[in-house]
Structure 1
Amino acid sequence: MFDGVFNTDYIILMAALLLIAGVVTAKFSTRLGVPALVLFMLVGMLAGSDGIGFIYFDNAKYAQLIGILALVIILFEGGLQTKWSTVKPVTIPALSLATFGVLITSAVVATAAKFILDVTWLEAFLFGAIVGSTDAAAVFAGLKNVNLKERLGATLEAESGTNDPMAVFLTISFIQLLMTDQPNYYLLVGSFFWQMGMGLLIGLALGKIAIYAINRINLDSSGLYPVFAMAFALLTYSVTALVGASGLLAVYVAALVLGNAELTYRHSIFRFNEGFAWMMQILMFVILGLLVFPVQLFQLDIIVRGLILSFILILVARPLAVFISTIGMRFDLKEKLFLSWAGLRGAVPIVLATFPMISGLSNSQLFFNVVFFVVLTSALVQGSTISFFAEKLKLSGAKKETPIHSLELVSIGKANAEVIEVEISEDNALVNLSLAEIMFPKDVLVNAIIRNGNLITPYGETRIFSGDILYVLVSKHSKQQLKNLLDQKRSEDPVLKEAAE
């Protein structure tokens, strides 16, 4: 009995220490100029048997389970934060990169892997498929602190959110081809369209159902709404995967639908998922770090072959895929160069590299070690220089607007009121107007104004300036009217006056 308790307590202690280490490394990653995901993996490698020796972990099945679960949560959070108005104009180039781009990248890398790794052509294409896609977790994290042009950032985020299914499909297909004596290629083509088509449809359907359910259900605690939303993310993935379609694509689509709808307790849902995604990102990369053995990874043979393949992936395969996939899509040379450089590899290739290990294929351990080294190289070289390249190529965009958040004070089941937080931009029609001059809708009260970090108690004569953060109490039925008022721009003064009347 005591052994069981001791083991349980030990595991909980290790989990706590690893999470603390992950949060601390994330805090210092920006100062060190190293992507957080690299530090997370290093934490896992140090805690493993070849490091300090706290944890011995070599179970590829558990690593795959944790990795896929984490990817679902990370993709869900990324989809929630993505504005459809931003993604819509770049849908075609993003999908082109997510499909044709992955195919081209995989083919080029596979050709190189055939000779560098000395494997069969099918094994080489399996390796190419594993590293063919960019990684959502790495791209979302890498772009958070980069003030990039909206179109470029949207293209990269949409690509990384939708290209994982293509890589998963290719990886599983090549594993099946390697394990089957008489493969059916027509069946694979049909499987591709089924996975992508049904993934899209189920994601749209469950996204709409989730919106209806979240807005109609009357829960006593506001903390249950984020849990309810997360349950729909897991439901979307599992239902889609069980019918043989792409669960990852469905999750991203459902999150995109949810994130662009009016939701009850929207702010609570977003903040919960942001924190949960960070936790799962830390857990995933630490676990993947534990799975690799540095003694095997940092051998001269792996280092040399890994560096050559990384060089080909970063400087040949990815640029070739970008330049071909975006022909006629109004990207100039600098933008294509940046799209090429920002194609980060991360958790997805490492998780996919566990598939051959679980299937028991020959050379699976070689593939895992080389893939891990390629990801490490991509994260270190590309991830740490994204901001630098954006500045050098002069691709920085306008300051990102702070979205209107809903800070719910009490459960809707007890009171029909919320607090809206909004940052006033320079071109907002309310700038330089006093509160008394603004005809707010009924059931609206400006509670506080934050100006230059200081709290200002608002009165009727208090004027609103650019950069002010307003906290406004509003009843639910007046929320949309208030939002329309706060969204007005200076060029739309007549609309503002009409709303005030």
Structure 2
Amino acid sequence: MLDAIFPAFLVAAALVLASVMSSALAYRFGAPLLLVFLGVGLLAGEDGFGISYDDAESAYLIGSLALAIILFDSGFDTKLKSFRQAAAPAITLATLGVALTAGLVGVAAHYVLGLPWLEAFLLGAIVASTDAAAVFFLLRVGGITIRDHVRSTLEVESGSNDPMAIFLTLILLELILAGGNQKDLWQEIATGFAMQMGMGAITGIIGGYAIVAAANRIKLEGALYPIGVISSAICLFGLVGVMGGSGFLAVYVAGLVAGNSQITGHAGLRRFMEGLTWIAQIAMFLTLGLLATPSEFLDVAIPAIAIALGLTFICRPMAIWLCLLPFRYQRNETAFISWVGLRGAVSILLGIIPLAGGLENGQLLFNIAYIIVLTSLLLQGWTIRPMARWLGLIVPARIGPVERVGLDLPGRSHHELIVYRVVNESPVLQGERLPRWARPSLVVRDGRSMRYQYAGHLQKNDLVYMFVAPQYIRLLDRLFASPKRLSQDDAEFFGRFTLDPKKPLSLLVDAYDLQSVPERHLNNSIADFMVQRLGGTAEVGDRVACGEVDLVVRDVRADGEIAEVGLAVDQAQGQAQIPLFLSGEEIWRWVKEKTKRKLSPDR
């Protein structure tokens, strides 16, 4: 037994190292990195290099622990402003959207595979949720800059939809195994759902504030704070699960609370969580890769791929469209949200549950779920950026690269220590003054440090140290950024004409004869009209339809007020026109027009 320790360490470390090194190729060729991790596990498995691993229970244990860490990090990295902006549509997608997707996939599985109805719906529940690890990686690490409310919707949905899929999977498996006692179980579904989700949300909020309070009051060595925080999150995950609630929802909510609070060592905790999350993702995907036997996939490959294509092109788009109808999403935004429905480790993890639970068709469901995940990562993971560009959702950068480093301050300071490197042709190098609230304290030039007051004019490659409130960092980035000129494509995105956001909307309506703008908005300013239509917040790149033209947010001040608005006369220019996904507003206009024509005395 002792002799096997060293080979085990060697193999495990080699697999992790192979995954890390292969990430360089993934970046170069644009491959989904999580697919690479999964591929390394498959290659090392029974049908590859011959590593035999068939312990479903330990795989589920490893996957659950990794998923809890990933969800806590997802919540920790989600800004409260983004959550508030996208909470209603995202939570609708995470609950009703998952249930609708599971039902539609279940219908397809029943007719394609010939499965009994309950087992077909069980398969639908297994693959109904999007994978937080895959979505967060592609949207954040992958460097895809899309409209803020679309990105927020996807991030909140992917971070919060796992509990619903887990609940549906467990309750459907229980129904199948119960056999003739299904009637009583159906009556318990509603109370079980309320208990799991309600307890998960409430304990997540309480646990998040408890983690922050403990971190701020207990004095520890600096390196121990991140370990204490993540250990507390995992304790919360286990405690809520023992109590009968959703531990996955609890750790996500706790991360959301902790990440948006003044917690000691926030910057250090963020760096620690980033590395730990990578380890969790690699461990989870490698384990799930080793667990699979690809040679068993051949028997069900064709019907499984057919279901995967149906999920991608029919089931999820239909569920997303129905859920987003009450909200103000444009056609292309709905289309993109429906496309970014990547299946990943969560679906494979849920596929283990029927296998470990002794279901007769458990291996079949696991294999089908695995193929669906592989198809999703291959098809959608490679096309996220091209799809966003084709739909006109990528927001062009308004400033060039910035060389900035943030340093953590002890205690609960409301300021951060920021270090900028002065780059060539940046505004500060051209004589632009720093705001008085920036509080520059030190300049390092050619290895020599000096007070800012005695440094004179800033020079190229100077390092400027200053204390800044976090909400103002975006403004300083503009001063220290390299120049970025608006290209032809960028001008098309932001609109070729510039408007004063403080002007009344009525002036724009009269100038362009916009007949379809409601009269109640005419007395509002252009900025107020846009903020109202955007749900209370505006970000650079947001677009608002105003009759036959589009209003585009070109710039936003630090307090969230719209500073500059672009006018796009040709709404279709530069964007694909999706014939489907009519928005609720478009449907309502169509109904009003039809009704008006019928009631017209000339008809």
Same fold, TM-score > 0.5, yes or no: yes
1:172 matches 2:173: no
Secondary structure at 2:383's aligned position in 1?
Answer: helix
Change (3 A) 1:190 1:14: same
Map of 1:89 onto structure 2: 85
* Cα deviation code 1:36-83 (max 9, x no counterpart): 111111111111121012x21011001100111110111111111111
* Cα deviation code 1:97-156 (max 9, x no counterpart): 101111111011000101222111111110010001111011111112211111111100
Map of 1:182 onto structure 2: 181
Map of 1:254 onto structure 2: 254
1:52 matches 2:49: yes
CA distance in 1, matches of 2:208, 2:403: 21
TM-superposed deviation, 1:463 = 5.4
Counterpart residue identity of residue 94, structure 1? A
- After TM superposition, the structure 1 = structure 2 runs for residues 331-480 of structure 1, keeping only pairs within 5 Å, are 331-397=329-395, 399=397, 407-408=407-408, 420-421=417-418, 432=431, 438=436, 445-446=441-442, 448=444, 459-460=452-453, 461=455, 470-472=464-466
| 1:434–1:463 contact (8 Å) kept in structure 2 | no
Q: 1:33 aligns with which of 30, 33, 58?
A: 30
Map of 2:12 onto structure 1: 15
1:126 matches 2:114: no
Secondary structure at 1:421's aligned position in 2?
Answer: strand
| 1:404–1:423 contact (8 Å) kept in structure 2 | yes
Change (3 A) 1:485 1:419: closer
| 1:428–1:488 contact (8 Å) kept in structure 2 | no
Unaligned runs of at least 5 residues, structure 1? 475-480, 495-501
CA distance in 2, matches of 1:82, 1:465: 36
TM-superposed deviation, 1:32 = 1.9
TM-superposed deviation, 1:13 = 0.9
TM-superposed deviation, 1:446 = 3.0
1:199 matches 2:200: yes
| 2:428–2:458 contact (8 Å) kept in structure 1 | no
Map of 1:291 onto structure 2: 291
| Percent identity over paired residues | 37
| 2:42–2:294 contact (8 Å) kept in structure 1 | yes
Counterpart residue identity of residue 89, structure 1? Q
| 1:419–1:471 contact (8 Å) kept in structure 2 | no
Secondary structure at 2:181's aligned position in 1?
Answer: coil
1:105 matches 2:101: yes
* Cα deviation code 1:305-329 (max 9, x no counterpart): 1110011100000100110000121
Shifted more, 63-72 versus 397-406: the winner is 397-406
* Bigger radius of gyration: 2
| 1:346–1:375 contact (8 Å) kept in structure 2 | yes
CA distance in 2, matches of 1:493, 1:161: 27
| 1:429–1:488 contact (8 Å) kept in structure 2 | no
Secondary structure at 2:264's aligned position in 1?
Answer: coil
CA distance in 2, matches of 1:153, 1:417: 27
CA distance in 1, matches of 2:307, 2:135: 21
CA distance in 2, matches of 1:262, 1:307: 47
Change (3 A) 1:104 1:59: same
Map of 1:73 onto structure 2: 69
Change (3 A) 1:482 1:123: closer
Map of 1:208 onto structure 2: 209
* Cα deviation code 1:415-467 (max 9, x no counterpart): x99972366999999995557x84666xx733559xxxx98966434557999
| 2:418–2:465 contact (8 Å) kept in structure 1 | yes
TM-score (norm 1): 0.86
| 2:98–2:165 contact (8 Å) kept in structure 1 | yes
Map of 1:137 onto structure 2: 133
TM-superposed deviation, 1:295 = 1.1
CA RMSD of aligned residues (A): 3.3
| 1:429–1:493 contact (8 Å) kept in structure 2 | no
Change (3 A) 1:462 1:222: farther
Change (3 A) 1:349 1:465: farther
1:217 matches 2:218: yes
| 2:145–2:395 contact (8 Å) kept in structure 1 | yes
CA distance in 2, matches of 1:214, 1:154: 28
* Cα deviation code 1:189-213 (max 9, x no counterpart): 1010111111110000010111111
Map of 1:477 onto structure 2: none
TM-superposed deviation, 1:239 = 1.4
Q: Greater RCO between the two (CA within 8 Å, min separation 6)?
A: 1
Change (3 A) 1:419 1:334: closer
TM-superposed deviation, 1:394 = 0.7
Secondary structure at 2:382's aligned position in 1?
Answer: helix
CA distance in 1, matches of 2:76, 2:5: 35
TM-superposed deviation, 1:10 = 1.2
Map of 2:313 onto structure 1: 315
CA distance in 1, matches of 2:229, 2:558: 38
CA distance in 1, matches of 2:56, 2:31: 27
Unaligned runs of at least 5 residues, structure 2? 479-555, 560-603
* Cα deviation code 1:259-311 (max 9, x no counterpart): 111221111100111111001101111110100011112x1x32101110011
Map of 1:6 onto structure 2: 3
| 2:415–2:469 contact (8 Å) kept in structure 1 | no
CA distance in 2, matches of 1:467, 1:393: 39
TM-superposed deviation, 1:33 = 2.0
Counterpart residue identity of residue 287, structure 1? T
CA distance in 2, matches of 1:157, 1:210: 23
Map of 1:478 onto structure 2: none
| 2:304–2:368 contact (8 Å) kept in structure 1 | yes
TM-superposed deviation, 1:27 = 2.2
